[in-house]
Amino acid sequence: MKRIVIAGAGFAGISALKPLGKFTVTAPEYETMIFDKNDYTTMMPSLPDIAAKRIKQNLPKASIRDLLPKRVLFKNEEIERIDFDAQSVSAGSKDYEYDYLLLSAGSVSNFYGFNQHLSRIFVLDSFTEALRIEQEFSKYLENRESYTVIIAGAGFTGIETACVLKAYAETNARTINVVLIEKADRVLGNLPAHISDYLESFMSGLGFRVIKRSTVESFNGNDIALETGEIFKDVFFVWTSGSKRAIEDISGTFTTLPDGRINVTEYLQVPGYKNVFAAGDSAAIKSGDGYLRKAAPFSASSGRAAGKNIMRSLENRPLKKFRPVELGWIIPLYPSSIGHVLGLNIKGRPGMSLHYLTCSYRTHGIKHRAGYFLQALKILVSGGQPRP
């Protein structure tokens, strides 16, 4: 029997299941096998909500087994190694050969070689890490005279995380100092300058301090020193400074971006390997003079397109070019927001509500959709911050 392997059950992998599931039902000589170390898929845009106890814990999680089409096999194992030339993936102590592969394992936090007391640094790249922040931040807010949150990286995730932790601390009658460390000369440098200026002004109004053109020099598990020599003591340290390809051990002949994303053709194929496709945060997808940013909508749409192209290849039909559509972006700022959606600028509660409505659209199952929809309504009706 011939085998299609999907490496990762995030937005890209799950989105590929529908076309490939239909194909394997009508082509019994093929089987589709999807791998993931978790038995659930996660609504990644909700990780800051989990970290700050803003939504019910199970809302962002959907069982992978409940989403499987007929004749699709789920392996609850982490793929550790891929060999493009041998056409095999390794998970646990076993090798699995494939005829077609979709690389959709997403990304993990990138420390860029920083390795000091990593167990004391918090990240937001998975549900378990978000839950760890929620648990440890609650403890951090106990029995201290002052509270300092350091966020390394003032990008989308860093700014949102700063806002949710401030809001969470306030619900516990705590006032925290928030410091964002940004290596670049402005926050969110990939967006127009007026957006960066607005965000810096907004964060200043919240009492946040943004230190630009700087990095963390050292961390002893409690205190942080910047390369400028400035020291912050007894901190809660969150790293949101970047991400890299989740599966690092991949052998073959291919090129990557500095973050490990594998360059693909306009059909989402890895050049030189007609049976290997990549989507989501695993793929370097050209867009104009640059590359698509890492975002849930692009992961879902590229995964779906890759799944359809695998099906077309198996049926000896011409492949279709992946044409991404940029619908926009929203940064939840709790309880405010800023964004640009369908060509329109958006701020305040409408943006926050739209954030939850988007999660409702992209999640799985009636209960999950209803849960996010109710969060959106709470924002619009009460004007306050949603709680579980």
CA distance 280 to 301: 8
Query: Percent of the chain having pLDDT more than 70?
Result: 98
Q: Which two tokens stand for residue 328?
A: 């926009």
134's CB contacts (< 8 A; 6+ apart) are 50, 51, 52, 53
Least confident of 70-74, 148-152, 219-223: 70-74
Mean pLDDT is highest, among 255-264, 344-353, 359-368, for 255-264
Least confident of 158-167, 189-198, 351-360: 189-198
Average pLDDT over residues 21-30: 84
Is 2-37+77-109+243-314's fold the same as 118-239's?
yes
Q: Which of 63-67, 116-120, 214-218, 376-380 has the lowest mean pLDDT?
A: 376-380
Q: Given this model, what pLDDT does residue 335 score?
A: 77
Q: Which stretch, 182-191, 265-274, 339-348, 362-371, has highest mean pLDDT? A: 265-274
Q: What is the pLDDT of residues 128-174, one digit of tens each?
A: 999 999 999 999 999 888 999 999 999 999 999 999 999 999 999 99
Which one has a higher pLDDT value, 22 or 312? Answer: 312
How does pLDDT run across 239-295, given as a tens digit for each residue?
999 999 999 999 999 999 999 999 999 999 999 999 999 999 999 999 988 999 999
Mean of all residue pLDDT scores within the chain: 94
Domain residue extents for the chain: 2-37+77-109+243-314, 118-239, 328-382
The domain 2-37+77-109+243-314: what is its CATH number?
3.50.50.60
Asked if residue 387 has pLDDT above 70, the reply is no
Its pTM surpasses 0.75: yes
Q: What is the CATH number of domain 118-239?
A: 3.50.50.60
Instruction: Extract the tokens encoding 302.
Output: 């590229």
What average pLDDT does the segment 76-84 reach? 98
* Pairing, β 72-75 against β 30-35: parallel
pLDDT, mean of residues 58-67: 95
3-state secondary structure the chain: CEEEEEECCCHHHHHHHHHHHHHHHHCCCEEEEEECCCCEEECHHHHHHHHCCCCCCCCCEEECHHHCCCCEEEECCCEEEEECCCCEEEECCEEEECCEEEECCCEEECCCCCCCCHHHCECCCCHHHHHHHHHHHHHHCCCCCCCEEEEECCCHHHHHHHHHHHHHHHHCCCCCEEEEEECCCCCCCCCCHHHHHHHHHHHHHCCCEEEECCCEEEECCCCEEECCCCEECCEEEEECCCEEECCCCEECCCCECCCCCEECCCCCEECCEEEEEECHHHEECEECCEECCCCHHHHHHHHHHHHHHHHHHHCCCCCCCCCCCCCEEEEECCCCEEEEECCEEEEHHHHHHHHHHHHHHHCCCHHHHHHHHHHHHHHHHHCCCCCC
Check residue 70 and give its pLDDT: 86
Under the banding of pLDDT at 50, 70 and 90, the label for residue 385 is low
| pLDDT > 60? residue 352 | yes
Res 384 pLDDT > 70: no
pLDDT at 143: 80
